[in-house]
Structure 1
Amino acid sequence: MLRVLGSNKVFCDGLTRRDLLHVGALAPLGLTLTNWSRATAAREQAAPTASGFGSAKRCILLYLWGSPSQIDTFDPKPDAPKEVRGALGSIQSVIPGVRVGEVLPRIARMLDRVTILRSLTHPTPIHGTAFAFSAVPTTDLQLEGNVRDSRHWPFIGSVVDYLGSRADAKAPAVPRNYWLPFTFGSKRGPSRPGPFGGFLGPTYDTIWSEFRAKGTKEILRDSGDPNTPKLKISDPYAGILPTDRFETVAPDETLTLDRLNSRASLLDQLDSARRTFDAKTTDTPFDRHRALARAVLTSGKLRDALDVQSESPKLRERYGMTLFGQSCLAARRLLEAGGKFVTVCWDEYGLVNTGWDTHVYQESRLKDELGPGLDGAFSALLEDLEARGMLADTAIVVMSEHGRTPRVQNVAGAGRDHWSRAYSAMFAGAGFAKGRVVGRTDRIAGDVAETPFSPKDVVATLFHLLGIDPQAEIHDRLGRPYPIGGNGRVRSELLA
């Protein structure tokens, strides 16, 4: 059992450097949170008792923005009426009696290595990225439309980054919290809330890659809105060239590596003098981002990790020559290079109601784009991590912000609208159970009938696996304490 003495003299989390040194052995992420207590009072706290604590050294989050239909993917209802089943069928998986959508044949063959959760539920059917992937207790359209709404809690990856920086202030050559393939929401409009620092501040916003190449397939996209014209879009999620590259976020082009190195010593001296002058001043986002940019530039590890062209053509084809497939491959490479939390987002591209937001043309998109893209990329990632001995300590989460309506809508190409009362997710790797189906919905996958889960429970359980006690406290910039996992509970149903 550990004893932590707290104060709020230096860090916004209330801990001095001396406090950090007293905590002792580090958890797998380099974090010391097994028994992290209130920063303003000394007390003892028992370690979490659920299995798997700290079993994940790193995590890959596969975020299917827009939300897949649970009925057409992980929770099919073959005996439901036609207007519920839709035109797409289901197939038997490797687990007796467990079926998945026909668009996921490779996943069906490896379902004995994953856990499917069929009973996620919450009351707000909006595109709530912040609600799905942070501990914020409630959400609304205003929160999900404003990146800097004061009510935001930090993204999961931002918490990982924040706590990692408390244990090691040196900027890592590979960001601890990285997002592929481009800034969230940027290929249709301004960035959307979710993967940001929340009350920890913009210092801990996600770091993004960039991908500028156009797709190889021009597709006529229809938003379903008669007031929005149809557009032909070269969507890279449908296909890219083998030569198309990911980029790090470009620094000031006038700052060459030679100039950076020649200025480094002076910059370090000035920074040291400033910190000596005012030891109580915390780093600004500019300070931290400058340090991170320098670490990235001088190391080259991030650039090399994003170089998927160095992999064999055969392996790249297994992942799929699509933006999502190659992003999953890049995510594996980032973890190998030292990354901790990598998000791969299947985002909107070019027009509203793209990504997995299948209000219209759902059947053709699931059959020709979405299903094959997810099926190939996830199965290849699982096999690749396993072959490299990384799966046992890497957590993989496949999740979205809600589900789709049980009944198919009478629209062009068929479609399903937003539905948050019942939806599904998938988990694999470190600490997660294998070959398990958790939860049950009613006969039309409209409501949870057994073992309801809040997305807050998934957040808390993922923190637990990453060696972070969700009941431990972090503090905002005003020193107010918050439990890391909010009101979420660690759920043993998902754990091995």
Structure 2
Amino acid sequence: QAVETPFVKDLSVVFLYFSGGASHIETFDPMMDAAPEIRSQTGEVATTIPGVSFGGTFPRLARHAQEMSVVRSFHHRNTDHVKAHVEVLTGGMDPTGQRKTGFSMGSLYARLAGTNSPRTGLPVYSLLTTPEIDPQYRQELTRVRRGSWAGSLGSPYSPFEPGSKSAIVDNMTLNLPQDRFADRRRLLSSLDSWKRRHDQIASVGGSSKFNDQAVDLLLGSASTALDISLESPALVRRYDTSHIPVGFKKFKPSPLGKQMLMARRLCEAGCRFVTVHSPGWDMHADKNNPGMVTGMEMLGRTADQAVSTFLEDVADRGLSRKILLILSGDFGRTPRVNKNGGRDHWARLSTLAFAGGDLRMGEVVGKAARNGGEPQSFPVSLSQFRATVTQSLIDVGQFRVNSSVPRELASLVENQVPITQLMP
């Protein structure tokens, strides 16, 4: 069942998660005035914001810079992949990263807003992954699932993962011929009529609404949200990144473009928090991972195409203020390139960018120190990141008036400080 919540904004979040830890330098802060061993190994490209450049594999995103805001002072302290996934995906609610406290930001939203869309019945929290064949990518898939946990909230607030073998996916599949399903729906209608005649409980009035949502999940718009073949072939081609092979020991066609298209379709169908898993950003230049140049030519170019197309598509549909895109990962990379041309784990600066929603765009928040290793100004914490996301989705004033959630959950909405430079 879904519930109506007056404090929930008509807005969705798509969190593109750069699993493995994307370099803050080769993405949104190339630092070309720094020493050669610090500056972006892929060069830079000028953006539409005067004096601001992005990494050299982001030429299309650079043209969308006015529609984005980047944070160059985002930081935390956890450089262990397993723990950092948990810490970032919970927005700092579990600072140990050991799943001792807290829950993912998507699970928090599902607890506050209700697990399913009131309009379609679709789960409001989704995790978009794909099967992985590269050993490193498989590890990262395990980690992002671990970090997307519901914690003490309970399994009903876990993410819906299309393509997995979970019960929730099986329940969205029609396993009966449509004529038999129609017979069962008629039976359900008859039982509902009987209830209306004989049951005086007020909640029965909502029974048919919930039944319609279940039917819609099986036959209607909610299930077709997962079918990108319903899009125009021209748009699918614009998104399609499969011409770029991704991996290190084993390669497959990049699925990121189609994941971003599915994320948009899920948002339109009522999903409100979609995490898109993009693995492979752990660019050490070692026996398991590529170096910075090779890795960014592969994953940076892929993200540039997929994200730019997403922004253009969302704008064409008039949804730019209805969908907030977040770009981040488990941590950043060392400011100095190692002897093999890679960068190692570093959390004192990390990648963070936003596009759309009701945040202020065209902003550059904070500045890195000259060594590229820590914030010089306006440091942004994980709790500020979480507050920015939560307050984008929840009207805090309405929440105070209308919410009946326990105080420990309410405090995660009411008593948090967001990234003030981005708030409307």
Query: CA 1:78–1:254 in 2, change beyond 3 Å: closer, same or farther?
Result: closer
Name which of 271, 274, 281 aligns with 1:356: 281
Query: CA 1:252–1:402 in 2, change beyond 3 Å: closer, same or farther?
Result: closer
Mapped partners of 1:332, 1:492: distance in 2: 27
1:152 equivalenced with 2:84 (yes/no):
no
The answer to whether the 8 A contact 2:292-2:343 is kept is no
Query: CA 1:335–1:138 in 2, change beyond 3 Å: closer, same or farther?
Result: closer
1:142 equivalenced with 2:71 (yes/no):
no
The answer to whether the 8 A contact 1:257-1:297 is kept is no
**What SS is found at the alignment partner of 1:72?**
helix
Shift of 1:420: 0.8
Mapped partners of 2:190, 2:98: distance in 1: 42
Letter in 2 for 1:180: L
Mapped partners of 2:318, 2:42: distance in 1: 36
Mapped partners of 1:94, 1:170: distance in 2: 39
The answer to whether the 8 A contact 2:332-2:350 is kept is yes
> 5+ unaligned residues in a row in structure 2: which ranges?
200-209, 242-253
**What SS is found at the alignment partner of 1:85?**
coil
Query: CA 1:474–1:266 in 2, change beyond 3 Å: closer, same or farther?
Result: same
Query: CA 1:87–1:490 in 2, change beyond 3 Å: closer, same or farther?
Result: closer
The answer to whether the 8 A contact 2:92-2:382 is kept is no
The answer to whether the 8 A contact 2:122-2:217 is kept is no
The answer to whether the 8 A contact 2:93-2:102 is kept is no
Letter in 2 for 1:73: T
Letter in 1 for 2:335: P
1:292-311 aligned at under 5 Å gives the runs 294-295=214-215, 297-311=217-231
Task: Provide the aligned C-alpha RMSD in A.
Answer: 3.7
Aligned to 1:202: 155
Residues 41-67 of structure 1 show CA distances to partners (whole Å, capped at 9, x for unaligned) of xxxxxxxxxxxxx4x522211111112
Letter in 1 for 2:262: A
Mapped partners of 1:211, 1:252: distance in 2: 12
Mapped partners of 1:67, 1:292: distance in 2: 42
Aligned to 2:278: 346
The answer to whether the 8 A contact 2:120-2:269 is kept is no
**What SS is found at the alignment partner of 1:207?**
coil
Name which of 111, 119, 133 aligns with 1:162: 111
Name which of 17, 40, 44 aligns with 1:90: 44
**What SS is found at the alignment partner of 1:67?**
coil
Shift of 1:142: 3.1
1:32 equivalenced with 2:6 (yes/no):
yes
Query: CA 1:140–1:324 in 2, change beyond 3 Å: closer, same or farther?
Result: same
Aligned to 2:412: 484
> 5+ unaligned residues in a row in structure 1: which ranges?
1-16, 21-29, 35-53, 144-148, 213-247, 277-289, 348-354
Mapped partners of 1:480, 1:79: distance in 2: 46
Question: Alignment identity in percent?
Answer: 29
1:14-25 aligned at under 5 Å gives the runs none
Query: CA 1:205–1:182 in 2, change beyond 3 Å: closer, same or farther?
Result: farther
1:91-106 aligned at under 5 Å gives the runs 91-106=45-60
**What SS is found at the alignment partner of 2:147?**
coil
1:255-334 aligned at under 5 Å gives the runs 255-256=175-176, 294-295=214-215, 297-321=217-241, 322-334=254-266
Shift of 1:97: 0.8
The answer to whether the 8 A contact 1:136-1:486 is kept is no
Shift of 1:394: 1.7
Residues 79-106 of structure 1 show CA distances to partners (whole Å, capped at 9, x for unaligned) of 2112112532112211111111101000
**What SS is found at the alignment partner of 1:203?**
helix
**What SS is found at the alignment partner of 1:249?**
helix
Shift of 1:305: 1.4
Shift of 1:112: 1.1
Shift of 1:346: 0.5
Mapped partners of 1:267, 1:152: distance in 2: 42
Aligned to 2:334: 405
Residues 414-434 of structure 1 show CA distances to partners (whole Å, capped at 9, x for unaligned) of 211111111231111121212
Aligned to 1:74: 28
Aligned to 1:9: none
Mapped partners of 2:137, 2:30: distance in 1: 33
1:442 equivalenced with 2:369 (yes/no):
yes
Letter in 2 for 1:133: L
Name which of 122, 125, 137 aligns with 1:174: 122
Mapped partners of 2:260, 2:118: distance in 1: 27
Mapped partners of 1:380, 1:424: distance in 2: 20
Mapped partners of 1:325, 1:169: distance in 2: 25
The answer to whether the 8 A contact 1:173-1:301 is kept is no
Residues 7-33 of structure 1 show CA distances to partners (whole Å, capped at 9, x for unaligned) of xxxxxxxxxx9xx9xxxxxxxxx5334
Mapped partners of 1:424, 1:135: distance in 2: 14
Shift of 1:401: 2.0
**What SS is found at the alignment partner of 1:77?**
coil
The answer to whether the 8 A contact 1:441-1:449 is kept is yes
Query: CA 1:186–1:251 in 2, change beyond 3 Å: closer, same or farther?
Result: farther
Query: CA 1:66–1:452 in 2, change beyond 3 Å: closer, same or farther?
Result: same
Mapped partners of 1:292, 1:445: distance in 2: 54
The answer to whether the 8 A contact 1:137-1:486 is kept is no
Shift of 1:296: 5.9
Name which of 295, 318, 325 aligns with 1:366: 295
**What SS is found at the alignment partner of 1:309?**
helix
Letter in 2 for 1:446: G
Aligned to 1:378: 307
Aligned to 2:63: 109
The answer to whether the 8 A contact 1:131-1:138 is kept is yes
Shift of 1:116: 0.7
Aligned to 1:392: 321
**What SS is found at the alignment partner of 2:32?**
coil
**What SS is found at the alignment partner of 2:237?**
helix
Letter in 2 for 1:193: R
Query: CA 1:292–1:455 in 2, change beyond 3 Å: closer, same or farther?
Result: farther
Shift of 1:164: 2.7
